[in-house]
Structure 1
Amino acid sequence: MYTPGTVSILEGLVAMLDVSQGTITGVGILAVVVLVAFSAFFASSEIAIFSLADHRIATLVEDEVAGAETLSTLKADPRRLLVTILVGNNVANIGMSAITTGLLGLYFDPGQSVLIATFGVTSLVLLFGESAPKSYAVEHSQSWALRIARPLRLMQQLMYPLVAVFDVLTDGVNRLMGSEGTLEEVYVTRSEVEEVITAGQRAGVFTDAEHQMLQRLLRFHNRIVKETMVPRLDVVAIEVETDLETAIETCLEHDRNELPVYEGVLDTVVGTVHVRDLVDAQFRGETVSLRAVASEPHVVPETKDVDELLTELREKRRRMAIVVDEYGTTSGIVTIEDIVEEIIGEVLTEQEATPIRWLEDDTAIVRGELNVHEVNEATGTELPESGTFETIAGLIMDRTGRLVDEGDRVTYDGVVLVAETVANNRVLEVRVDLSKREDQSGAAKDA
């Protein structure tokens, strides 16, 4: 910024120090270069440090990386750090403008000096003080942040009076504007994590299998037991008066390691029994009842979070929980294996049918009890996953609003769902037809 006093001061220095005008010009140019460097330093510091997430800095501190402790100290007070950077940057830019205007005043008239200084300094700052250093900091945020952490901390201490004053003033202005005076906490939303995972899969960082597992892990946090359990109709259980030999045969026949034990009806579960305990009791020749061999049942409501249940089962060293509805009626069971399959995908036993069979490239047969999100993963569809249903069979019933007969169909976003096999009012298999969806997308492209 041009002021008549700036030129007068420089001319006075020339006369007082008895130095040439060229020497003053050289010193001024050197000062401008130094100030451009300071401007670049502060501008790049802001981008580099604020681009690093707090958890990343914490990891660097744990790994004892050089400069990480200082970087953590700076980031611990983000407002003061921002004030330090802005004060330093503005002091450098204003000083650069004043010196440049004064130097030009030695060679040009006042109007020309202001004009040249305005456009010259602006171009200089934009290129070497802002654009180039910030671009570099974006590409090398971690390494550059570690490198400049200690010098920036030193500058913060040297400029402490200015920083402290402007920190207080900033806090006052923020409060007048209704702000609490603190910077918003940096956080990462679940949707942002999903976007990062998807971007990683597209870039080849994750395989398709890893991508699906990570997506399941994100969904796992919000799932309840009702969405994971084996429904009541599929529960294999034994009556408490059953003898040991028959109980063992039931376990082997249905390929189960552990079974619920009920008295009278399935709503009265008195325990759970493991095939190992049955075989052990029979081997010892003990004539004990099934009730004596069974363990106390672990009963949970349908609405319990799956991740909480997993923690409970691990702590109590249990493998099965009995699930009851709001009326206390047994609605199903859930095992640790069922919970693990929510993350890694379904693990089939020799007696289990494949959950999805592809008849053609655009047609598949899926089991009715399969969760909708699993169908979406396998077929690449976007069927609705929220509602009063969890399974693909439930989706068809929800859309039709009645009990479903074989051949009934519903269409969602070009995907045709057909009740392929129905028995006892239960949809056992659903045909998923994608051909119309492809025709619609092709027609949209042609249009």
Structure 2
Amino acid sequence: MGSIDPGDPLSYSLLQFLQNTSALLRFEYIATILGCIILLLLSALASGAEAAFFSLQERDLEKLKTSTYPTDKRIVKLLEDPRQLLTHILIINNGINVSIIILFAYIAWLLFGSLSVLELAGCMLFATFFIVFFGEVLPKVYANKKPLSIARRAVPGLLVVKQLVQPLATLLMAISNWIDTRYGAQSYNHTMQELKHSLDVALTNEDTSPEERRILRGVVNFGSITVKQIMRPRIDVIAFKSSLTLPELLPEITKWGYSRVPVYTESTDKITGILYVKDLLPHIDKGPEFTWQQLVRAPFFVPDNRRIADLFQDFKDKHVHMAIVLNEHGATAGLLTLEDIVEEIVGEINDEFDEEEIIYSQLDKNTFIFDAKTSLHDFCKITEVPFDAFDKVKGENESVAGLMLSLFSRIPRAGETITFGHFHFTIESADSKRVKRVKINVGSKKKRHHKVS
């Protein structure tokens, strides 16, 4: 080929084109490499934010809840829906990582002109190494050491980008919820059916003791029992009025012997605190002027439809042993302790100070007389009948007395009988206000299935 003559207009134009193209290519290289670096930093920030938000400990969350800084409040609000937060972060992070891979492929195309399958695979591996090491491993290791600091720095940018990916996040969460509803519940139910079948086998085994059967039933049903089913109802809750003086309070403590007692101001409908008797011990020699009310701790409230498995975790996290149960109107429905929850698996726990409360007597293999205030849950546990045996008729009632009101649609009189399924009920004792004792024949145990629901 001949050389380019600068004096020739055509040659000069070609020279200028080559120089401009070279400069443009150098600019593309620089811009693409800078883009890769910036995207790697953004990927690192997204991965660090993910690790930081989900590494926050309970003490960090308590600190954030009491903080007055707007950023801390935003962190708490984002963590109110962790599934949505994770969806947003993953969409952002995956979008960044895909962009990095595209830029790496573009750089390879600029270098080689055309890419073979082998060159493309090598480019992908090279990009993956950078993404995993610089965009995932390093930031997550650092974020796990300083999660609170990283979460605070990530909040402003996350809130801005969150709005951009919200439509896609909403779509993905809708699909995820549909899959969970359609297949997740079926999988769970299938697993529970297998557990119940195994329990049926164990319960019909003559070598299985009553204690073992009770523990097995408790374990299988633990996740489905609600607070309302096993709580001590409000009418049976012992509580102290806050207007009592110390000399008036001490005999009440001695009389009942509880280590923790609810305190109210006007009525037990509104519990205002919990008195720990151990907090009172250093002050028992003081007079009426001592304000023992200052020792009362804040109560822990739970709704009556909460499952005891979740409440058990709350007790462990918050280091409390007693919960005040509220109904849908916010009034006190009852009380539940950690011991009550544990007893659902291991059975009654009585110490040397507990008096065994006899709530029933057994006349023969299938016939019992129950105190009407006995909960239906305890009745089913004692007689080994399915826990869902009365779901169709009990309504909102959770006691034997409430079941009688549902079956008779009124307060029955002593001597009246009624049958439901293979259960035969006879009112042993009642007055114009309530049912007191009920005789129940549960039918032949040979005909009943030892099913747990």
Query: So what's the TM-score if we normalise by structure 1?
Result: 0.51
Partner-residue secondary structure (3-state), 2:284: helix
| Separation (CA, whole Å) in 2 of partners of 1:190 and 1:415 | 26
| Separation (CA, whole Å) in 2 of partners of 1:423 and 1:322 | 30
Q: Find out whether 1:432 has 2:440 as its counterpart.
A: yes
Match of 1:363 among 338, 353, 367: 367
Identity %: 25
Q: Is the 8 A contact 2:371 2:438 kept in 1?
A: yes
Amino acid aligned to 1:356: Y
Question: Using a 3 Å threshold, how does the CA distance of structure 1 residues 203 and 265 change in structure 2: closer, same or farther?
Answer: closer
| Separation (CA, whole Å) in 1 of partners of 2:446 and 2:262 | 49
TM superposition shift of 1:294: 0.8
Question: Using a 3 Å threshold, how does the CA distance of structure 1 residues 404 and 252 change in structure 2: closer, same or farther?
Answer: farther
Match of 2:305 among 299, 303, 306: 303
Match of 1:253 among 250, 255, 277: 255
| Separation (CA, whole Å) in 1 of partners of 2:431 and 2:320 | 34
Show the counterpart of 2:228.
226
Amino acid aligned to 2:427: A
TM superposition shift of 1:363: 2.9
Q: Find out whether 1:353 has 2:357 as its counterpart.
A: yes
TM superposition shift of 1:245: 3.5
Match of 1:384 among 383, 389, 399: 389
Match of 1:207 among 195, 206, 209: 209
| Separation (CA, whole Å) in 1 of partners of 2:302 and 2:407 | 30
Q: Find out whether 1:421 has 2:423 as its counterpart.
A: no
Aligned residues: 257
Question: Using a 3 Å threshold, how does the CA distance of structure 1 residues 288 and 319 change in structure 2: closer, same or farther?
Answer: farther
Q: Is the 8 A contact 2:416 2:427 kept in 1?
A: yes
Partner-residue secondary structure (3-state), 2:224: coil
TM superposition shift of 1:325: 1.1
| Separation (CA, whole Å) in 1 of partners of 2:412 and 2:234 | 19
1:135-173 residue CA offsets vs partner (Å, 9 max, x unmatched): xxxxxxxxxxxxxxxxxxxxxxxxxxxxxxxxxxxxxxx
Show the counterpart of 1:120.
none
Amino acid aligned to 1:299: F
Structure 2 unaligned residues grouped into runs of 5+? 1-183, 448-453
TM superposition shift of 1:239: 0.4
Question: Using a 3 Å threshold, how does the CA distance of structure 1 residues 307 and 440 change in structure 2: closer, same or farther?
Answer: closer
Superposition CA RMSD, Å: 3.1
Partner-residue secondary structure (3-state), 1:405: coil
Show the counterpart of 1:270.
272
TM superposition shift of 1:296: 0.5
Amino acid aligned to 2:382: A
TM superposition shift of 1:428: 3.2
Amino acid aligned to 1:428: K
Partner-residue secondary structure (3-state), 1:265: coil
| Separation (CA, whole Å) in 2 of partners of 1:256 and 1:307 | 24
Question: Using a 3 Å threshold, how does the CA distance of structure 1 residues 379 and 267 change in structure 2: closer, same or farther?
Answer: closer
TM superposition shift of 1:314: 1.9
Question: Using a 3 Å threshold, how does the CA distance of structure 1 residues 303 and 376 change in structure 2: closer, same or farther?
Answer: closer
1:79-115 residue CA offsets vs partner (Å, 9 max, x unmatched): xxxxxxxxxxxxxxxxxxxxxxxxxxxxxxxxxxxxx
Structure 1 unaligned residues grouped into runs of 5+? 1-183, 442-447
Of the two, which has the highest radius of gyration? 1
